Structure 1
């Protein structure tokens, strides 16, 4: 059926209106909030930096420790870590929501088909009766489009895109957290291994001292108290050695869970020595903003909150809906297609809420307050990142100085133990002085190992505080827990 001439003239005009207004979008355009910043990290002066002196750009920061076992374990995180799998699933949810927001740009189409039978019957005053029944067949199409005149859909898409980008940064943050937790547990385990070696050597030394003391007692050169003291000291070290077993088991179980393994089926062999301490990577506070995934996530959340202000403001303006429908109807199924009744409708409609009891005002106030909250959260995240970096640098500086001093303490304790032991063999001093000297040496050596472990852990904290080499890419690469998918733009 042809439309009247008047309708043909009005319809293009109705379509032109949203196109003319399509350039505007209600709400504030996003600008990254200002954050407190400094020119350089205070604790970075005087450090030996990595060569070449540039920011850390590789995403395999753990390789700097040159430990093949650690590198293999970190790679297993992407395969089996369940916390990371949860973060990846949340990222895919955010992508789906972003895609759903884009659907508002397009018209909706619908189709329907029905068959109904109806009739009536009656008794007109008892004079007679009659009935009328028939079947009606109908099929139709409907189409409607809500042009994005005020930019509401564009703001929703903008919010969805920023949320997806924040989720991608959260995924990177979850990965970095798992990697750093693994490295911390691994280094603690290696320190425990070295302490076990030290205690094993100490047990052997104390066994020799106990034998010497017992022989001297049997020869009548020392008192029974010296033998008891030597044996007590020996058994104490054996207890300490046993105590390391459950501590090592705890770290081993933690590593197993981080790589998605059953603790009962996972074990790490003991090795000699500790991983090497890498040079400190250089970074400026300004680059920290792009290289820390938690800061990127907080900034993208601010962008999403800003876009939702525009969505709330768009509710104050009328909605223009363009709709069209057409259907075929007939009472006879055989004539439903060949000779149907045609019914159609076409036209625009404006809708505006005149009174809503303050709902739109409340929604706008909520969106604005949410934006202010996310801005404060973003600035706090930046401050926390700067603080964590300064703390790690300060701890590394302190550990470096303490280790130098502790090595001197160990050397003095070993020299004193040698002198006292020689005096004991000559019968000048009692075994109590030997025991004190030996315990002092053992304590000094264990303290040195603990400081070296703390230094390694501080370096991991620094790598994490600097973003772990993450380059700020908000579209994760292909992997078991990070499908290749371009973040919506």
Structure 2
């Protein structure tokens, strides 16, 4: 009677799946109009309201950069680890899905039976050889949907790992681009510092000649030499920056630092975008960012695990059958030695309902936590993107102002030098003008280099690389 009631309870949930069905995050920041609309900081001539290309680094039209990124994506150690983690997640999913397959079993036994009780004559009874063979199979009906929910959770987990792998890919591409730009920027800034030092050295040579002719003093020579040495003192820092970027590139390419790419060591031209930076809108950002996709897949997986917990309130039912053969060895093959059975196999571990309900409550709270984390990821993505756009736009204005200042400083230094050479001024205005020129040109070069880094920061914030 109890078995019949148990089976009836199981059949009541036939065709149903325990737990809530997943329909995507509801009532979240991502669904609001401000989150999906145009970026506030994107209203600038530096940007274009166009979709971001699949491979944003191609916008620089630099074959060397293209080759470095593609090579890193093929061999980078962090990316290989992320790929292995994805394969592991797929293997775990296959293992979970395998629980829905038919399970089989085979049993074989043999024995020699002998009665050792003695007869009246004192002799033992003769032995009897017996055997037993069995083949069984069972299939889980999964009436409560526990296995289905477990598979749903496994699929969501795999997708979350795939999104995490995409985050690594985007990071690798951006870091390669930054390292490449770092090499070019270091050489570019070093060339600027060398030009300033060259100008100051020519002034020093002229000052020495004038001092020998009685038109200058040793003090003038000393001040001119100090300016040269100060400018030249900045050169080793640029060399160190270039080497650090080259060593980073080697690591990203899966090589020892000593095996850095020599072909770009002399790069002195900054990567340049041929057109305004495409940024799209918030809706495209939310679809494209892999960390947002990873957060959403975590919600899906934990929602499915609510069903797994609820299913523990119901029995586990399987359909099974088997073929049995056994008896005396001398009767092998006779019709009396075979048997067959088929029927439902019902099991219920009668868990403590308070414990199961506590598990269900914990699973529900995990989903609530996931939803809060999803909102946090979305807000951070929007904030980071707006900040990157605003920073680039204002740094672009700053670079333009520094360019104007550098051109003005060049004219001022030329005028001061001319006045000095014709005896219309003493040496101090020359040194002052050249010091201003040195600062302006170094700042202009640094600002132009920073713009490239700002561009890459925007691409990284936009989640560019793959749809």
Report the TM-score, using the length of structure 2 for normalisation. Answer: 0.89
> Which piece of structure 1 moves more, 173-182 or 204-213?
204-213
* 1:125-274 matches, cutoff 5 A: 130=124, 135-266=129-260, 267=262, 268-274=264-270
* 1:410-449 matches, cutoff 5 A: 410-427=406-423, 429-449=425-445
> What does residue 11 of structure 1 align with?
none
* Deviation by residue 1:423-449 (Cα, 9 ceiling, x = unmatched): 332445554443332222122112112
- For residues 426 and 254 of structure 2, what CA distance do their matches in structure 1 show? 55
Correspondent of 1:44 among 42, 45, 52 = 42
**8 Å CA contact retained: 1:27, 1:311:** yes
Change (3 A) 1:19 1:446: farther
- Residue 289 of structure 1 and its aligned partner are, at CA, apart by 1.4
- Residue 174 of structure 1 and its aligned partner are, at CA, apart by 1.0
Structure 1 unmatched ranges of 5 or more = 1-13, 472-489
> Which piece of structure 1 moves more, 456-465 or 336-345?
336-345
- Residue 241 of structure 1 and its aligned partner are, at CA, apart by 1.0
- For residues 354 and 167 of structure 1, what CA distance do their matches in structure 2 show? 35
> What does residue 479 of structure 1 align with?
none
Change (3 A) 1:211 1:163: same
Change (3 A) 1:133 1:360: farther
- Residue 217 of structure 1 and its aligned partner are, at CA, apart by 2.1
- Residue 387 of structure 1 and its aligned partner are, at CA, apart by 0.7
Change (3 A) 1:404 1:128: same
Change (3 A) 1:116 1:461: farther
- For residues 449 and 211 of structure 2, what CA distance do their matches in structure 1 show? 41
> Is 1:300 the equivalent of 2:292?
no
Change (3 A) 1:355 1:297: closer
Correspondent of 1:388 among 360, 378, 384 = 384
* Deviation by residue 1:100-131 (Cα, 9 ceiling, x = unmatched): 2222322211223333456564689x995747
> What does residue 66 of structure 1 align with?
61
> Is 1:397 the equivalent of 2:393?
yes
Report the TM-score, using the length of structure 1 for normalisation. Answer: 0.85
Correspondent of 1:91 among 86, 108, 112 = 86
**8 Å CA contact retained: 1:167, 1:297:** yes
- Where 2:278 maps in the other structure, the secondary structure is coil
> What does residue 371 of structure 1 align with?
367
- Residue 317 of structure 1 and its aligned partner are, at CA, apart by 1.0
Change (3 A) 1:129 1:363: farther
- For residues 226 and 115 of structure 2, what CA distance do their matches in structure 1 show? 108
Structure 2 unmatched ranges of 5 or more = 1-5
- Residue 391 of structure 1 and its aligned partner are, at CA, apart by 0.7
- For residues 452 and 120 of structure 1, what CA distance do their matches in structure 2 show? 101
- For residues 309 and 72 of structure 1, what CA distance do their matches in structure 2 show? 47
> What does residue 307 of structure 2 align with?
310
> What does residue 291 of structure 1 align with?
288
- For residues 209 and 340 of structure 1, what CA distance do their matches in structure 2 show? 117
> What does residue 6 of structure 1 align with?
none
- For residues 249 and 305 of structure 1, what CA distance do their matches in structure 2 show? 47
* Deviation by residue 1:361-393 (Cα, 9 ceiling, x = unmatched): 232122112111111111111111111110111
- Where 1:192 maps in the other structure, the secondary structure is helix
> What does residue 486 of structure 1 align with?
none
> What does residue 347 of structure 2 align with?
351
- Residue 148 of structure 1 and its aligned partner are, at CA, apart by 1.3
- Where 1:348 maps in the other structure, the secondary structure is strand
**8 Å CA contact retained: 1:229, 1:431:** no
